[in-house]
Chains A and B, each alone.
Chain A
Amino acid sequence: MSVDTIQSRRDWLLSERPASRMQARLGRAYVAWRRFSANRLAFLGLLIIIALLVVAALAGVLAPYSPTFGDLKNARLLAPSAEHWFGTDDLGRDILSRILYGSRWTLYVVILVAIIAAPIGLLVGTVAGYAGGWTDAILMRITDIFLAFPKLILALAFVAALGPGIENAVLAIAITSWPPYARIARAETLTVRNSDYIKAVQLMGASPFRIVLRHIMPLCISSLIIRVTLDMAGIILTAAGLGFLGLGAQPPLPEWGTMIASGRRFVLDQWWVAGAPGFAILIVSLGFNLLGDGLRDALDPRSGDQ
């Protein structure tokens, strides 16, 4: 592509007079992208997350060995080597292969929690904030009850009631992580509900349902995305914690937390068994945190509208 066409494309995106809905939307996205990509650390975070997605998608191709069957006879607790980059565990399974497959479970947990918890929080928060009065009082007291317990303890209680397993762990984490989102959405709603532009929509004759859905929620979404991204690390760690305590994913599932749990017995002599999945959790958590920080700068409505 020549320099000229790139330049004209940029002008088209940054046009002060967009000619279509599409152009206006793309232009806005482009401005956010420019702000985001100017932040190197955030870009690194994005790369880490993209790498995670690629690894999860191609685990079957990339992994040199089976994640669940090991060579019990010859390959127990081997140190990292050219054959087994990250070594093997007590059942002779290749740790690298297990980590690659494990990324799928990490993504599974993170995405499901985000899909369940964020919309619940958004709905509860905006409805409470916009309706006010009794609705607000009841919804927010319920939120407070959830917030009163430490997240991991509450998740433990739920898993204990529902039974161990990765699906239940996801459910438990989702149930315990929506209240902060509800708080954020409510706070955001309170600041905009009395603004003239919401009053103007009321004067159009819009129903409360329509106002919340089409005018208030879009304003809350960016701060929510930021918060959810920043929480991803916490979600991964909680999932790992549940796995570690034997209440999350069950062996032989290659989930990172469960892997650390089974490696803890040899952590002094065969450090790589627990160390490698620990390092994976660290990297991915860092990636999400950097991404969240970058998104905050790029999307934050308070940092001006440009």
Chain B
Amino acid sequence: MTSAISVDGLEVIFDRFRALKGVRLDVQPGESFGLVGESGSGKSTLLRAIAGLAPVASGSIAVNGKTLGARRDKAFYREVQMVFQDPYGSLHPRQTVDRLLQEPLAIHGFADGEKRIQRALDEVGLGNGFRFRYSHQLSGGQRQRVAIARALILEPSILLLDEPTSALDASVQAEVLNLLEEVRRRRKLTFLMVSHDLAIITHMCERLMVMQSGEAVENLAANDLVERRVSKDYTRNLLRASDGFVRTA
């Protein structure tokens, strides 16, 4: 079976700074794969490089068996979509929800826009009452739902998730994570999800890769983390940190 996403020897360089140093990644179709690490580990850069938003210096990226060039074509964007971290920054401040959802349909020339917008809003649990609101009239969770609706409206097979809940309150986070799991099951999507929170990754993903300063530290199954079968100190430190503060007497 061809991989949904296959990355090999990927290097990303921003102004002489090597953000990714030869990273390998293989995500199977229908799988949910997590990327974990602290700030500066390159996990978000890897996601953006796949989306075509980071300058790739060398290495190859293939999506559904097709190797990508420097420029992405329209067909790529119908296969791969992304949800950003900050729901306050990822929606255009002067556009209504309706307009935001119409844009991808207009770009790709869909005729049944009306129906698709209705369906997308229903799917993410926002009724018609939200359709003509501006983003500043929405709460953080509602905005993230709109962002998910926008990503799903082109019916992609792969969703890139860049810390989709880190800006949200815990209770809203639970709702958004549930929504993501639900759409994944219904649409048989492949997820590639970035988070600094090990608990979220083990909850959402089957396999994961731990990253540190632009390199992969280790590849694990979610179960390995649960049973604490990790081989690297760095991962062990992360695991300990996620248990919360422990007072050393």
Are A and B in direct contact (Cβ within 8 Å)?
yes
Given A17-B129, A20-B132, A21-B96, A197 and B77 contact (CB-CB distance below 8 Å): no
A204 touching B82 by the CB < 8 A rule?
no
Q: Is B154 positioned at the interface, with any CB of A under 8 Å from its CB? A: yes
Query: A201 contacts which chain B residues (CB < 8 A)?
Result: 92, 103
Q: How far is the CB of A68 from chain B (nearest CB, A)?
A: 48
B86 touching A200 by the CB < 8 A rule?
no
A21 touching B92 by the CB < 8 A rule?
no
Main secondary structure of the interface of A (DSSP, over half): helix
Partner of B77, one of A18, A203, A210: A203
A24 touching B89 by the CB < 8 A rule?
no
Q: Which of A199, A202, A205 has the most CB of B within 10 A?
A: A205
Q: Is A37 positioned at the interface, with any CB of B under 8 Å from its CB? A: no
Given A16-B137, A21-B132, A197-B89, A219 and B94 contact (CB-CB distance below 8 Å): yes
Partner of A199, one of B53, B76, B129, B150: B53
Q: Is B98 positioned at the interface, with any CB of A under 8 Å from its CB? A: yes
B96 touching A205 by the CB < 8 A rule?
no
Q: Is B22 positioned at the interface, with any CB of A under 8 Å from its CB? A: no
B82 touching A203 by the CB < 8 A rule?
yes
A305 touching B154 by the CB < 8 A rule?
no
A301 touching B93 by the CB < 8 A rule?
yes
Query: B107 contacts which chain A residues (CB < 8 A)?
Result: 204-206, 210
Query: B18 contacts which chain A residues (CB < 8 A)?
Result: none
CA distance A202 to B82 in the complex (A): 11
Q: Is A150 positioned at the interface, with any CB of B under 8 Å from its CB? A: no
Query: A18 contacts which chain B residues (CB < 8 A)?
Result: 96, 132-133
CA distance A202 to B74 in the complex (A): 10
Residue of B nearest to A24 (CB): B132
Instruction: Give the interface size class of chain B.
Output: 35 or more
Query: A301 contacts which chain B residues (CB < 8 A)?
Result: 93
Given A21-B96, A21-B98, A203-B51, A196 and B132 contact (CB-CB distance below 8 Å): no
Residue-wise, chain B 125-148 has the 8 Å CB interface mask toward A (1 for contact) of: 000011011101100000000010
Residue-wise, chain A 186-208 has the 8 Å CB interface mask toward B (1 for contact) of: 00000000011101111111100
B90 touching A205 by the CB < 8 A rule?
no
Q: Is A9 positioned at the interface, with any CB of B under 8 Å from its CB? A: no
Residue of B nearest to A215 (CB): B92
CA distance A18 to B92 in the complex (A): 18
Query: A204 contacts which chain B residues (CB < 8 A)?
Result: 77, 103-104, 107-108, 154
CA distance A20 to B131 in the complex (A): 8
Q: Is A10 positioned at the interface, with any CB of B under 8 Å from its CB? A: no
CA distance A215 to B106 in the complex (A): 14
CA distance A205 to B81 in the complex (A): 10
Given A21-B96, A206-B103, A301-B93, A200 and B84 contact (CB-CB distance below 8 Å): yes
Residue of A nearest to B153 (CB): A204
Between A and B, 28 residue pairs with Cβ closer than 8 Å are A17-B133, A20-B132, A21-B96, A24-B96, A24-B132, A24-B133, A24-B134, A196-B86, A197-B90, A197-B91, A199-B90, A200-B82, A200-B84, A200-B91, A202-B52, A203-B51, A203-B77, A203-B82, A204-B103, A204-B104, A205-B72, A205-B76, A206-B103, A214-B103, A219-B94, A301-B93, A305-B134, A306-B136
